[in-house]
Chains A and B, each alone.
Chain A
């Protein structure tokens, strides 16, 4: 069914990693136990579901990935808006955001209209949204409300849509439409998250930003980013890059992802919550899971587009 050998290897790798993680998690549960292990096992369970959905979407080609990421955008924006200080007057603007802006953005990605998909939300939605909100006649905290909704659209829709856009890149001598580049990005960015978590739990001593996220430590950061870079370099055969380029890309992906996690943590901290939602057992909400992806995707897309 799958002709692409490299794609098959990537998927086997994902499945193999999950099997190893599941066996390790269950062994730890029986031998050590405790709340941390239970949380880790809940996360692994959710990883199976997320990986299955992601791989299934990739196999259906561009359409499946577009639909999957459009849904992720909706779920993420839903969690973002819930925690935002929107008011009654923003209702119509929000309805437009969910049911017009999100589909439009992903359709533009799908028809490969790069010129418009890259400016729709930053320029035109930026203007239209403010105009729609002002029509409600409610001026109380106007700029704060408009800016927050715009920020949510940029983060949850615009940035996320760069991930499936990778499948539509035109690269000499490389078939991006197979989804391998998208898989590469997602594997490196999520592996970086997981590896930072693991290194932090094992060796973490010195906190990077205690005021924002008590769980982020220098040990976790260095160990996780270094391992993710090595992992990405080791996956060069699935990309249009040579091993060095793949390592450099992975390093940037991991760094951008780290910044994303920190920024979203600051938002949660400000709102007084631990997670954006509860949809994914052990992980929190969708936005908690894709916070690093939404920072890494545009950067990775543009670097690949300009240099390859």
Chain B
């Protein structure tokens, strides 16, 4: 119920053009990975998923941010069912295990492999987590998602969103090839999003 309201609100403020290059298949865990410029990124991506997929999709988010204050904790825990990971400290290594655990349980994930929010112009190099996750789950389906204009809706450091029309494209999925080196794979995944951004 709250989930529906939140996703409707996200689309009213930040929605706009959305396109699926490959229609989402029925079930099974997959990872949606996207460029990251705003706290609204995952909310909008999540709101665009068909309801039956949304129920089984968990955004991967930073514990230090989402455990601050009762509202954030409620949203992360009960509305988005976020998979909270530690970005720093001794626990950071466990992040991949946590994600792998989520996938093993049959949940899809929303992941921002840049690891932090950018200004919106360029996509930063991807962190290795996506690769290590695929090592643990060979054949895992990865859906690249390009998100544009969200940095203008709610940029880093602002707390009031400005309504703006966004552009979200779900690309065709890719997988880690057998024996593909880490750097090559991460570059290929990043380029998949770049290609969607240039495609007009």
Contact = CB atoms under 8 A, between A and B. Distances in A.
Contacts of A278: 16-17
Nearest to B152: A86
B68 to A, nearest CB: 22
Interface in A42-73: none
Given A86-B152, A278-B16, A78 B160 contact: no
Nearest to A88: B155
A277 B162 contact: no
A277 B166 CA distance: 10
How many chain B residues sit at the interface, stated as a range, is 10 to 19
Contacts, number: 36
A303 to B, nearest CB: 33
B178 interface: no
A78 B153 CA distance: 10
A78 B155 contact: no
A74 B163 contact: yes
Nearest to A278: B17
Interface string B31-56: 00000000000000000000000000
Interface centre among B149, B158, B163 (most CB of A within 10 A): B163
B163 A78 contact: yes
B164 interface: yes
Instruction: Say what secondary structure dominates the interface of chain B.
Output: loop
Nearest to A95: B160
Contacts of B161: 95
Given A82-B149, A86-B152, A88-B155, A95 B16 contact: no
Contacts of A98: 162-163
Interface string A235-279: 000000000000000000000000000000000000000000110
B19 to A, nearest CB: 11
7 contacts: A75-B163, A77-B163, A82-B16, A95-B161, A98-B162, A99-B160, A277-B16
Given A82-B149, A91-B158, 8 more contacts: A74-B163, A78-B163, A79-B165, A82-B16, A82-B164, A94-B162, A95-B162, A99-B160
Top-8 shortest CB links A-B: A78-B163, A82-B165, A94-B162, A95-B160, A82-B164, A91-B158, A95-B162, A277-B165
